Amino acid sequence: MQSLPLDRTQTQVQVNAFVRSVYNWMAAGLALTGFVAYYVSTSEAILRVVFGNPMVLIVLVIAQLGLVFTLASRVHKMEASTATAVFVIYSALNGVTLSSIFLVYAKTSIVSVFFICAATFLACSVYGWITRRDLTSMGNFMVMGLIGIIIASLANMFFKSYGLQTIISYIGVLVFVGLTAYDTQKLKNMALSQPAGLDAGVIRKGAIMGALSLYLDFINLFIMLLHIFGGSRD
């Protein structure tokens, strides 16, 4: 008669530990990205290297994409330490490319939008955790929207239309709001489905993948909100 409550308690402890690990790694990734972005923005020498030569920026973007796809497709074959290192390196490289926001937007504007993004992200994440509605269909729809945003953004690199960028940003906010709730629900289901006694390395890799998904949601939501609400340095 006492085993069921004990099992439930053990399960809850396991879930809490996993979720805490995910959000800790996400927060660490965001902190590293923010630190690197600010540091690079204060170094004229690094800025000249990164943004003075288009090929350097292209290589950085390709490297980041390569790290994300490698982590997503090969995480099960990696050691936990390797998966962690890939996530940390990606977060740092992302900080290098995102340093450009300090050259475009006022610092006070960046801080204000960050807190708006954090509050929005938290609300969507809480909804994704507590809702009993299956968000799978919505998540699939949001992924299709994400593909549309990528295509439109690539096209706008040639058109350079402010109006199109504004539309992309508003749609992007909706897409990443939905993806945040969806990814949080996936994280919850992943935590609840973990068997007892699972290897610590496997748990760590699962936490890194969960952190990467939420990290990407946060960063992209932040960028979209910055396009909408960000104030120029000029």
Q: pLDDT for 54-76, tens place per residue?
A: 899 999 999 999 999 999 999 98
Q: Is residue 120 part of a domain?
A: yes
Q: The tokens 């540091």 sit on which residue?
A: 39
**Whole-angstrom distance, CA of residue 91 vs CA of residue 113:** 20
pLDDT tier at 2, thresholds 50, 70, 90: very low
What would the 3-class secondary structure string for the chain be?
CCHHHHHHHHHHHHHHHHHHHHHHHHHHHHHHHHHHHHHHHCCHHHHHHHHHCHHHHHHHHHHHHHHHHHHHHHHHHCCHHHHHHHHHHHHHHHHHHHCCHHHHECHHHHHHHHHHHHHHHHHHHHHHHHCCCCCHHHHHHHHHHHHHHHHHHHHHHHHCCHHHHHHHHHHHHHHHHHHHHHHHHHHHHHHHHCCCCCCHHHHHHHHHHHHHHHHHHHHHHHHHHHHHHCCECC
**Whole-angstrom distance, CA of residue 197 vs CA of residue 192:** 13
pLDDT tier at 3, thresholds 50, 70, 90: very low
More confident residue, 5 or 193: 193
Strand partners, 55: none
Residue pLDDT, tens place only, 150-195: 999 989 988 889 899 999 999 999 999 999 999 999 999 988 887 7
**Whole-angstrom distance, CA of residue 145 vs CA of residue 213:** 16
Q: Is residue 126 part of a domain?
A: yes
Question: What's the chain's average pLDDT?
Answer: 91
**Whole-angstrom distance, CA of residue 136 vs CA of residue 178:** 11
Residues 6+ apart with CB under 8 A from 55: none
Does the pLDDT of residue 1 top 50, yes or no? no
Q: Is residue 13 part of a domain?
A: yes
Q: Is residue 200 part of a domain?
A: yes
What was the pLDDT predicted at 6?
41
pLDDT tier at 110, thresholds 50, 70, 90: very high
**Count of the separate structural domains present in the chain:** 1
Strand partners, 232: 105
* pTM reported for the whole predicted model: 0.92
**Whole-angstrom distance, CA of residue 52 vs CA of residue 6:** 61
Q: Is 197 left (phi over 0), alpha (psi -120 to 50) or beta?
A: left
Does the pLDDT of residue 138 top 70, yes or no? yes
Q: Is residue 234 part of a domain?
A: no
CB count within 10 Å of CB 17 equals 13
What was the pLDDT predicted at 9?
64
CA atoms within 13 A on the CB side of 27: 8
Domain span at 70: 3-229
> Would you give the distance in Å from CA 88 to the centre of its chain?
13
